[in-house]
Structures are given as C-alpha cells and as structure tokens.
Amino acid sequence: MPLNTYQINITGTVQGVGFRPFVYQMATKMNLVGTVLNGAGGVEITVNASELDLKNFITALQNQIPPLAKIETLDWKQIEQLFFQNFRIIETDNDGYITVRIPPDVSICQECEEELFDPSNRRYLYPFITCTNCGVRYSIIYNLPYDRPNTSMKFFQMCKACEQEYANPLDRRYHAQPIGCWDCGPTLKLMDNVGRGVPTPTIINKVVELLLEGNIIAVKGVGGYHLVCDATNEKAIARLRERKHRPTKPFAVMVKDIEMAGEFAEFNETEARLLASRERPIVLVKSKSSHKGLPLQMVAPNMSRIGLFLPYTPLHLLLLDKLNRPLVATSANITDEPICTDKESIEKLSAVYGYLLEHNREIVNGCDDSVLMVVKSQIITLRRARGYAPVSIKLPLALQKRVLAVGANQKSTVAIGFNNQVILSPHIGDLDGIESVEYYEKNIDTLRCMYDFEPDVIIHDMHPGYESTKYAKDKYKGLPLQEIQHHYAHIIGVMAEKQLKRKVFGVAFDGTGYGDDGNLWGGEFMLCDYSGYTRVAHIEYFKLLGGAKAIKEPKRVALSLLFELYAEKALVLDNPTIKAFSQAELKTQYIMWKKGLNTPMSSSMGRLFDAVASLTDVCHKISFEGESGMLLEELYDDSIKGYYDFTYKDGIINVLPIIQNILNENDKQVSVSKFFNTLLEMIAIVYRDYDDLPLVLSGGVFQNRVLLSLLLDRFPNAFIPNLFPPNDGGIALGQVASLMSNTMQEQ
Ligand code: ZN
Ligand code: ZN
Ligand code: FE
C-alpha cells in the first residue's frame, strides 16, 4: 500500500510535558516513520502512513496523552512525499512566534512518590525527585522554549546516570528538565535565623525535631517560601501570629494525606478531588469543631472553614511523613511585599522564624499557593497561582491587536492577549509598596519575554491612583493607552470565560472601583456587551468617612449611614457602632461628614457589608480584607426567611431602610440572615426588567460563600467566574476582553 506523508500540528500544553517522547513511543509502536519536533506554534509531527494508520495514530494521540498535556487543537494535512528511515525526535526549533503554553508547576506524581520511599531506588528520600510527569515548571523558567538551559536547573551538571535517563526516549525521565539525584541535583541546607549552618546527619529528621519543639521554620518551596510550624501546637501558632502581626487572618494547614484531612474537616467528593489533584491547591473546607487536636480558634479564629492542602513536593512529603502531624504553612512575605523567593528577601523575616530550610535551586518566577472553594458544586477560584498559572483562556471573538492589560491594584494579575487567546498571569498581590510594584513589573516582563510579546495597545483601569495605571502611563509612552471602567471589566471577564456573545445583565458587587463620575462604585447593575455598558441601577451613594481609612474600619461606614438617617441625632444613639467611637471622635466625624471633608462618595456593596458588621457588633475594624464578610457568613441561619425593605426608584437603590431595620433588631443572627436575604431580593427586583438577558455576577463580594450559594439556588443559570477569582484578580482578563472585535452577534 502506498504511504503518504502527513503533517500533524498540535497546540495546547504540549511542551515540557513529555509529549515528544510520547509521540515517539506511539509512532514506533505502530511502526510509523517520521519526525516530531517542538515548533514555534506547538508540536509538529511529520509521518509516513496509510490513511487508516494515520487515523489510528491520531486517535491514539488524543486518547492516551501524557497526564500533564492538554491538546487544544489538532490539525493535519497531506504534504509532498518525504522519506524517513525511522522515527526521530528533532530538537527544539527556536524560530518564529511562540504561542505555546508554559506548563504550570504541579505536584509530585505517584511513581516518583513510590520511588521516594523505596530504599532500593537510587533517589530514595531525595527531596527533589521528579520526572516528565511531575514537578516544577513555571517557577524555574527563564525563557521559552522549555529546555534545561532555559531554567534554573542549568546550574546543575547532570551525572552519568541522570544523563542516560534524560536521553532515553523510553525512560519516564526523558527530557525531564528538572531531573537530578543525590549526586548531581539541588540539595537542602538547614540554617538558624542568623544564617549559621545547623550540623546534622539527616536534615529532615532535624527539621521535624525542631518543629516538634515548637519552632517556626521558613521552608523554601516551589514558588516561594512558607513559614511553617506544628499545627497542633497552640503556642507555636500564637507566636507566629504575634511575630507576623497577623492577629486573625486564617492560616492554611498542610496535612499529610486525605485521611488526615478527614480528621480535621468535612468535605464532599469535589472538594476531596481538588485536594488530591495534581495542582494541590488550598481548599477551603468545613472544619470539624469536634476535633481536639487542632486549635481551630488559633488557626482560623471565628471561622467554620479551614484552608487545607496536601504536600506537593517530595520535600513536603518527607517532612509530613516523619512529622505525622498537620503543619501550619503560610506564604512568607513582609506586609505589603510579595512572596519571598530568595534568601535576601526571606532573611528580612529572620525575626519571625527560628530556622531556615534552604535549597539551592533558584526560584525564577514567584508563585503563591492557589486557593479554591466549592459552592453548590461549582469550583470558585479565590486565588489562581501555583498549579494553574499562567492560564490560557480562549476568547469568544478575535482580538485585532496585541493587548497588554495591566490589571487593578489589589489582588493584582496582568494579562496579554493576541488572536483569540488571553494569557493571565498568576496572582501577583496588592500593589502597596515598592517591592510589590517591582514584583508586578517583573511578572509583566516574564509574560512578555516568554511569549515574545510586544503590545500594540495597553489597557488599564480608570482609577488614576492605581499603581497599575501609573505603570501603564509611565512605561508605555508612545503606545496607545485605553482605560476601562472597573466593574465593566469585572463583568466582561466572565462573559469572555463563558463565551457569551450577547448582551448580559451584570451585577458587580465589589469593594470599590473608580466610576465614570469619579465616585467609588461597587454596587452596580449594568447591561454589558463587548462594545460598552449602561449602568441601569446602583446603590445610592454614601460618604466614606476618612476615605481609605473607611476600608479598614467598618464602623466608619456604619456611622456615615447613621448620619444619613439621623444627622446629628445619631451621636446620642445607643448601638454598637456609636459605642465603638469616643464622644470626641463622634463629634469630629460628624463635622467631617457634614462638611464633606475627606469623604468620597461610594456605592460599594463591600462597604455595606462592613456597615452591617459594625451595626451588629460583629467587627468594627478589620485586620484583613474580606474579614467582615467572612464573619457575617458565620452568622447566617437559613431558617430565618424574612428580608428588609429598601426602595428602588429610577435606578437608585436606597439602603437606609435596611440600616434602620437592623437597628430595631435585637438578635444579630436575625439581622445578618435577613440582610443576606435582602440582597437576593435586590438583585431579583432590578433583574426583573431585564430577565431575558443572561445574569452575570462578579466582583469581590461574590467570594462570599453564603451570598453565592443563595444566589445559585435562586438563579441556577447565573454565570459566575470559575477560572479566575471574582475579585480584582479577574480584572486583567476583562480588560483584554473589552478590546475584542465589536462584531457582536445579534441576539
Ligand atoms: Zn514524577
Ligand atoms: Zn544525577
Ligand atoms: Fe473590583
């Protein structure tokens, strides 16, 4: 039978994931001859085959792909006849325009885990064991293509044994860029907090001993350092809280395995699957209050949820296996600074930790742990980073230009867009200090470098004070800049993820975002399509007493609303908010409010949550973002059915009646539950006029589990973001999406 020559092009996550050796194995198994190479646009296979063999080959490729690979497109065509002796892997082709994806860092695979604990294996107990199917990727890449010389593994000269595995197409470690062993790979080093080496024959045993003594240890991981301590040791956790100046923000806990997770928490099948997934995110699950071993009030004060995750590196496995206890493991960073990724940055925390567990493989790209939760069987991303990022999202329409989106200011991410593709960076964090802004710029440079990307246009938030806006204006002089309203970006990002092409009814419940009128929006109802939006309703503006200070102090928002209701008479009211101020403070605040001094106007739903938290005496000051909403969640009682009145007229929602009613309630659980129910009514009433349009929900307030789950019950078809966070981590995607071609499909 005559053989034809075919060329098969495959795109997706097909580099650095063992794809070429897999193709090689498939082809040789089927006695096909030809070549495979990493081209600029993905994997390119040239093969001589009969038509039937070609079909079988393609089916086999699609059905048996390596665990980390993901095929996005597979095209084939017949080309002019070529002749081959055998099947061969051709080394990486470095030319042309790179559109391939960078594989994320994933957890250790089952086979490596077995070898790790197998005394007969040459990598027995080696803390950096890895293979083509697992381990670090994104965090060690300087540049594409993903080959060892382009990673921080280039500093380690492979030994003979490793080299043989690396070069053998039939080996599990064929072209596994980060491989090494006891003889040639990265090594651990244990130090005290002034950098003196701690002599010990077995580092892991020593670290476990130190943890059991109650020490706090900084441990270098994949995308940064963790601060860890024994999670059953209340005093150690208290010490960590005190030294980190972190009084109440919950800590994540690393558990040895899913069984240990089950000791401390209840979880459903989806949550269990996420915990054990190779991405190994932190999953927020319901803690078992009956459990004695874990001092919950110290780990996650006043919360019924706990963030758990499983070990994801061989080093974690070795530690947890020996320790056999849960470990508090929190990202190491200094307030307002990004996650520590090198020795210099971690040493700034030497007053926090007692010992430092270092290794000598450089972290090139910092990457925090990812955080997810499951609400009504939907996976909600709270922080998208290690294991998932950078992520490629397909757009419903093509971009005419190459876009750089610089994101927002808090929970920041950035994105680049070209053709119908967006690459969204991992979570970068809040842009509050110089270090954070530098880290942010580095993330942009990394994306641009890896994708060989030169933007035609830059898009930024309308907020003139955002560091991202300043960056866009400073760094891209000469390039066209476009700005986009914050909440429109929130909604349009979801439209892009869900491939929605028609007009939608968007609800953006948010902290704050800069509005078209210069006010701080955040309780917005808008009709959106890709060409623009109309704001059809919003919460009536109220004054934020003290501006930015009001964001940290819910009592200021509540007080402002009390002034709206009762003016000066509010000063003599008897309620928790008034009690949270001194008489002198109240008088000053009243003057500020009356004269409108440092009192920006806001329609923010996030702030309304704050007001309710203060009025119900739940919290008057917060120590981390989202705290008031999380505390309110805890008080929700689904047996309380009522809701509070509010008025809705001419697109303005007046919430003052809600506040008034809360003042008359004497049970805070009733107040809080009715408040949640009220928000449902609010959305229902405004949506009623537009309910032929799809409902899209986004903005940081939708990270509230109770609100989200009530809404998904009432509006099961509502669209919410799943691939990226509802908070400002999704802004960059929306920014890119707003520049898609305006050729909208008619409804
Ligand atoms: Zn492996
Ligand atoms: Zn070796
Ligand atoms: Fe926002």
DSSP notation for 56-95: HHHHHHHHS--TT-EEEEEEEEEES----SSEEEEPPP--
Same domain, 573 and 673: yes
Q: Does residue 527 lie within any of the structural domains?
A: no
Q: Looking at residue 744, what is its pLDDT?
A: 44
Ligand 1 geometric centre to CA of 605 (Å)? 46
Ligand 2 geometric centre to CA of 218 (Å)? 27
239 C-beta neighbours (distance < 10 Å), count: 17
Ligand 2 geometric centre to CA of 159 (Å)? 4
CA of 312, nearest ligand number: 1
CA of 129, nearest ligand number: 1
580 C-beta neighbours (distance < 10 Å), count: 20
Same domain, 252 and 173: no
Q: Does residue 516 lie within any of the structural domains?
A: no
Ligand 3 geometric centre to CA of 406 (Å)? 14
Residues with CB under 5 A from ligand 1 (ion): 109, 112, 131, 133-134
CA of 179, nearest ligand number: 2
Ligand 2 geometric centre to CA of 165 (Å)? 9
How many Cα atoms sit within 13 Å of 394 on the Cβ side?
A: 8
> Which one-letter DSSP state was computed for residue 529?
E
Q: What is the pLDDT of residues 271-283, one digit of tens each?
A: 999 999 999 999 9
Same domain, 219 and 308: yes
Same domain, 322 and 197: yes
Ligand 1 geometric centre to CA of 346 (Å)? 29
Ligand 3 geometric centre to CA of 235 (Å)? 37
95 C-beta neighbours (distance < 10 Å), count: 8
Helix (H, G, I), strand (E, B) or coil at 6: strand
The domain boundary, picked from 65, 89, 113, lies at: 89
The H or E element spanning position 419 is: none
CA of 463, nearest ligand number: 3
> Which one-letter DSSP state was computed for residue 53?
H
Give dist(CA 448, CA 416) in Å, integer: 8
Provide the phi-psi class of 486: left if phi over 0, else alpha when psi is between -120 and 50, else beta.
alpha
β-sheet bridge partners, residue 404: 416, 458
Same domain, 197 and 343: yes
CA of 173, nearest ligand number: 1
Number of domains in the chain: 5
CA of 123, nearest ligand number: 2
Low-confidence ranges of the chain (pLDDT < 50): 93, 95-98, 743-747
Residue 58 token pair: 């393609």
Return the HEC string of 102-160: CCCCECCCHHHHHHHCCCCCCCCCCCCCCCCCCECCHHHECCCCCCHHHEHHHHCCCCH
Q: Looking at residue 96, what is its pLDDT?
A: 38
* Amino acid (one-letter) located at 61: L
Ligand 3 geometric centre to CA of 524 (Å)? 11
Q: Looking at residue 565, what is its pLDDT?
A: 96
Same domain, 152 and 224: no
Q: Does residue 27 lie within any of the structural domains?
A: yes
β-sheet bridge partners, residue 197: 191
Surface-to-core class of residue 64, CB atoms within 10 Å of its CB (0-12 exposed, 13-18 middle, 19+ buried): exposed
CATH number at residue 337: 3.90.870.10
CATH number at residue 485: 3.30.420.360
CATH number at residue 699: 3.30.420.40
Q: By residue range, what is the domain housing residue 486?
A: 390-500+723-746
Q: What is the pLDDT of residues 178-219, one digit of tens each?
A: 999 999 999 999 999 999 999 999 999 999 999 999 999 999
Residue 296 token pair: 């919950």
The H or E element spanning position 571 is: none
Q: Looking at residue 75, what is its pLDDT?
A: 93
Same domain, 318 and 182: no
Find out whether 465 and 444 touch, Cβ atoms under 8 Å.
no
Same domain, 302 and 411: no
Q: Is the pTM of this model over 0.85?
A: yes
Find out whether 162 and 181 touch, Cβ atoms under 8 Å.
yes
Give dist(CA 82, CA 7) in Å, integer: 11
Q: Does residue 513 lie within any of the structural domains?
A: no
Ligand 1 geometric centre to CA of 176 (Å)? 9
CATH number at residue 140: 3.90.870.30
Q: Does residue 512 lie within any of the structural domains?
A: no
Helix (H, G, I), strand (E, B) or coil at 56: helix
Q: Looking at residue 37, what is its pLDDT?
A: 84
| Alpha-carbon distances of 174 from 92, 551, 576, rounded to whole Å | 14, 53, 66
Ligand 2 geometric centre to CA of 152 (Å)? 16
**Strand spans (E) along 498-651:** 504-514, 520-529, 532-539, 542-543, 601-602, 647-649
Ligand 1 geometric centre to CA of 252 (Å)? 25
CA of 730, nearest ligand number: 3
The H or E element spanning position 67 is: none
The H or E element spanning position 673 is: helix 668-687
Ligand 2 geometric centre to CA of 254 (Å)? 30
Q: Does residue 380 lie within any of the structural domains?
A: no
CA of 278, nearest ligand number: 1
Same domain, 284 and 172: no
Same domain, 77 and 128: no
Residues with CB under 5 A from ligand 2 (ion): 159, 162, 181, 183-184
Q: Does residue 607 lie within any of the structural domains?
A: yes
Ligand 3 geometric centre to CA of 526 (Å)? 14
Q: Does residue 532 lie within any of the structural domains?
A: no
Q: Looking at residue 2, what is its pLDDT?
A: 62
The H or E element spanning position 8 is: strand 4-13
Same domain, 613 and 492: no
Find out whether 444 and 404 touch, Cβ atoms under 8 Å.
yes
Share in percent of the chain as helix, strand, coil (round to 5): 35, 20, 45
The H or E element spanning position 287 is: strand 282-287
Same domain, 415 and 436: yes
